[in-house]
Structure 1
Amino acid sequence: MLSQITAKLLIVDDLPENLLALAALIHGEAHEVHQAQSAEDALGLLLEHEFALAILDVQMPGMNGFELAELMRGTEKTKHIPIVFVSAAGREMNYAFKGYESGAVDFLHKPLDTMAVKSKVSVFVDLYRQRKVLDRQLQDLERSRQEQEVLLGQLQVARGELERAVRMRDDFMSIVSHEVRTPLNGLILETQLRKMHLSRGNLAAFSEDKLQAMVERDERQINSLIRLIEDMLDVSRIRTGKLSLRPRQFDLAQLVSGLVENFEAQALASNTHIELQRCDTVEGEWDEFRIEQVVANLLSNALRYGQRQPVQVRVFEQAGMAWVQVQDHGIGVSAANQQRIFQQFERVAAEQAIGGLGLGLYISEQIVRAHGGQIQIDSEVGQGATFSVLLPLTALSQQTDQAQATSA
């Protein structure tokens, strides 16, 4: 590495013949020699180059060597350059003392001792080159330290994500085991009860009305299991980018009004009702099954968290977008939680013992985004919540063509 470093030397003397003689004396392959016949010329070179050593003649017209040295010591770029003075004056003239005050590291006296000059130059060149090697090593070490800090930060982030993933997995398994166990326990108890009636020959337990009630209970439990499984499958499809859409033209108002009618029984069971406040005809090209899934989830949440208050539903067109709004007057969602609830395994009110995997809003938002739309929430704690689904009226196929044209 030392052989790759070239040291630059500056020699300053007002006499050309002295410059030529000194340059020939200190010439070497490991360094470059720059010459200046005045202090002013030397200052220009000092600002342009980085020197390993400056050899200054003391007695020069105008600015002498001592004055040039003082200027060098007062400048950030040049204050660390070693200075060797050359003087024809006798040693008794106290030049050495004044030179050292000006920042000299050594003195050379005329006539010059060839071996002494070469030896001194060689020492300072070696020191310069070793310092440059050390500087590079320190820079490499600092760069390595910074890279290690970046890697450590990345590892800490990865560790945090891994820990979060493990927590999410554990939470997910806990939630799934609880949610799956509930309908399964119902089915198991029903099955055991029927076996007991059959073993005792109690056929009266299977009258038409009782059998109808059994079938309805079984259907509810089975539908709960199917919903849980479908939610988990949807999450898997979203993660792998395989959530397919099958768009077709339909009236959004007709879909929503049908859903509201279907949810009336659930609303009555919760001692409330759903009001279809506005239902304008809005036609567009969307995946009907998936949009129905989104609106059904919003209606289900409104009934679940609405504290038995009426739920209002609106369908209309505004600013080139189809809007579906579902408004409840229940517990509401704090500003801090309004983004969190759209994440996986999060619930509108996690602290309340309300069932569900916490996937409904996450899946709903992904479905709406896949249509080029968005879900908005307007809510305050204790003041209910309004969820708005905005869907573009442009057909999905046209959106894809437009996006391709834009990227092209």
Structure 2
Amino acid sequence: MPLSDIQAKLLIVDDLPENLLALEALIKRDDRIVYKALSADEALSLLLQHEFAMAILDVQMPGMNGFELAEMMRGTDRTKNIPIVFVSAAGREMNYAFKGYESGAVDFLHKPLDIHAVKSKVNVFVDLYRQSKAVQRQVEALERSRREQEVLLAQLQQTQVELEHAVRMRDDFMSIVSHEVRTPLNGLILETQLRKMHLARDNTAAFTKDKLEAMVDRDERQIQSLIRLIEDMLDVSRIRTGKLSIRPSEFDLSQLVANLLEVFSPQISAAQASISFSAAQPVVGQWDEFRIEQVISNLLTNALRYGAQKPIDVAVYSEEGYAVVQVRDQGIGISQENQQRIFQQFERVSGSHVVSGLGLGLFISEQIVAAHSGKIEVHSELGEGALFKVCLPLVQKT
């Protein structure tokens, strides 16, 4: 901003109106505003309202004189740095100039005033004021810039932390995916190589009906494992892009869980576990049947995986406007710290044994339940098993 654009305010104080008008005519310009006061009290009122580039004070005024007004100005933080010029009609023998300088004046003028001297002095103080304001604005601009740079630096540091975390997650994810995908693929490759070997040896006895059924079952399990991995990754992509679709239809949650437990019979037997199921009555609501089945399947899978071959309790009931599915195991349990992590992506609480999967099941389940305006809770202590509760509103919010 050019210095000329900085407006300067000037204060002139004299008890005679004609003196004020004459002085105003001398110093007034388009880029300045002149405020006039007929008394020290009036001047004090103006000083409280405006920031002045300089003040020209008449010494001899009734009531509070110019020297007393100057001393008050010097004693106040708001006005102590305003340059003061005294004017007086008294002769030089009165020694007013010395007293004026003692009161903090920067100059002393005798009446009748020298027109050129007055204009020159006012120009000097106005220029000094404008330069001071320009420097002040530059300092303020630099301070704003510094604060903005600090904020930007903090944002960049936060972004760097997030990027580093994302890179670690990516590396962990790729490591898990490569391991999890390799397992069913290795099974399929071994099966294929075994069959090729039998065919090369013309060993048709290896392809009896019972043996073919066993081969097909093994292939199907490996293929289903790959499909689940792919579906989990697709669901994460849908969640991230906000495209996880929910298609509600009316169904009985108790019946869905009962049917699902029948489907899980082979896994229950393989895990050498037992499951008890209780559902006092039908619990009917409007939910996405496929997605809710996906959630319950994840909870059952985890209960079998971490349940230490101990009994698992499953219950369906309604409570305070919610349909509740409860899955309780008596396995290794989950620490308080890990309870905050298990619903995050790629998190797997392994305890003392190796687990499979991408660590996406609970993350996806929580997102599905949230999309139904519901909630999923976990209650657990290490070594005391875990209780998972899925709560779905019986009446969907519109």
Give the TM-score range, shorter chain: over 0.9
How many angstroms apart in 2 are the aligned matches of 1:74 and 1:384?
75
1:48-69 residue CA offsets vs partner (Å, 9 max, x unmatched): 1111001112222221212111
Q: Secondary structure at the match of 2:356?
A: coil
Shift of 1:92: 5.3
How many angstroms apart in 1 are the aligned matches of 2:100 and 2:381?
80
Q: Map 1:180-329 to 2 at 5 A.
A: 180-329=181-330
1:81 and 2:82 correspond: yes
AA partner of residue 322 (structure 1): A
Structure 1: where are the runs of 5+ without partners?
403-408
Residues 2/306 of structure 1: CA separation in 2 closer, same or farther (3 Å cut): same
How many angstroms apart in 1 are the aligned matches of 2:143 and 2:289?
59
1:161-211 residue CA offsets vs partner (Å, 9 max, x unmatched): 333222222221111111000111111112222222332344443344433
AA partner of residue 137 (structure 2): R
AA partner of residue 167 (structure 2): V
How many angstroms apart in 2 are the aligned matches of 1:351 and 1:124?
82
Q: Secondary structure at the match of 1:369?
A: helix
Question: Which residue of structure 2 lines up, in the alignment, with residue 406 of structure 1?
Answer: none
Shift of 1:357: 0.5
Contact 1:257 1:279 in 2 (8 A): no
Question: Which residue of structure 2 lines up, in the alignment, with residue 65 of structure 1?
Answer: 66
Question: Which residue of structure 2 lines up, in the alignment, with residue 95 of structure 1?
Answer: 96
Q: Map 1:10-49 to 2 at 5 A.
A: 10-49=11-50
How many angstroms apart in 2 are the aligned matches of 1:351 and 1:112?
99
1:271-296 residue CA offsets vs partner (Å, 9 max, x unmatched): 22112144531011222111111100
Contact 1:315 1:325 in 2 (8 A): yes
Question: Which residue of structure 1 lines up, in the alignment, with residue 373 of structure 2?
Answer: 372
User: How many residues are treated as equivalent by the alignment?
Assistant: 397
How many angstroms apart in 2 are the aligned matches of 1:237 and 1:49?
62
Question: Which residue of structure 2 lines up, in the alignment, with residue 120 of structure 1?
Answer: 121
Contact 1:255 1:292 in 2 (8 A): yes
Shift of 1:22: 1.8
Contact 1:85 1:107 in 2 (8 A): yes
AA partner of residue 355 (structure 2): I
Shift of 1:352: 5.2
Contact 1:12 1:36 in 2 (8 A): yes
Question: Which residue of structure 1 lines up, in the alignment, with residue 345 of structure 2?
Answer: 344
Structure 2: where are the runs of 5+ without partners?
none
Q: Secondary structure at the match of 1:391?
A: strand
Contact 2:332 2:351 in 1 (8 A): no
Question: Which residue of structure 2 lines up, in the alignment, with residue 133 of structure 1?
Answer: 134
Residues 358/45 of structure 1: CA separation in 2 closer, same or farther (3 Å cut): same
Q: Map 1:103-114 to 2 at 5 A.
A: 103-114=104-115
Contact 2:333 2:386 in 1 (8 A): yes
Shift of 1:339: 3.3
| TM norm structure 2 | 0.93
Equivalent pairs: percent with the same residue? 71
Question: Which residue of structure 2 lines up, in the alignment, with residue 405 of structure 1?
Answer: none
Contact 1:264 1:274 in 2 (8 A): no
| TM norm structure 1 | 0.90
Q: Secondary structure at the match of 2:299?
A: helix
RMSD over aligned Cα atoms: 2.1
Contact 1:314 1:326 in 2 (8 A): yes
Moved more, 30-39 or 263-272: 263-272
Question: Which residue of structure 1 lines up, in the alignment, with residue 162 of structure 2?
Answer: 161
Q: Secondary structure at the match of 1:244?
A: coil
Contact 1:180 1:228 in 2 (8 A): yes
How many angstroms apart in 2 are the aligned matches of 1:64 and 1:123?
26
1:290-339 residue CA offsets vs partner (Å, 9 max, x unmatched): 11111000010111122222211110011111100111222322333323
Contact 1:280 1:317 in 2 (8 A): no
How many angstroms apart in 1 are the aligned matches of 2:308 and 2:11?
88
How many angstroms apart in 2 are the aligned matches of 1:350 and 1:236?
28
Shift of 1:223: 1.1
Contact 2:315 2:326 in 1 (8 A): yes
AA partner of residue 383 (structure 1): E
Shift of 1:90: 4.5
Shift of 1:355: 1.0
Residues 33/351 of structure 1: CA separation in 2 closer, same or farther (3 Å cut): farther
1:236-281 residue CA offsets vs partner (Å, 9 max, x unmatched): 2222333223322211101111222332332232222112144531
Question: Which residue of structure 2 lines up, in the alignment, with residue 56 of structure 1?
Answer: 57
Moved more, 69-78 or 339-348: 339-348
Shift of 1:45: 0.7
How many angstroms apart in 1 are the aligned matches of 2:34 and 2:297?
85
1:174 and 2:175 correspond: yes
Moved more, 360-369 or 199-208: 199-208
Moved more, 163-172 or 31-40: 163-172
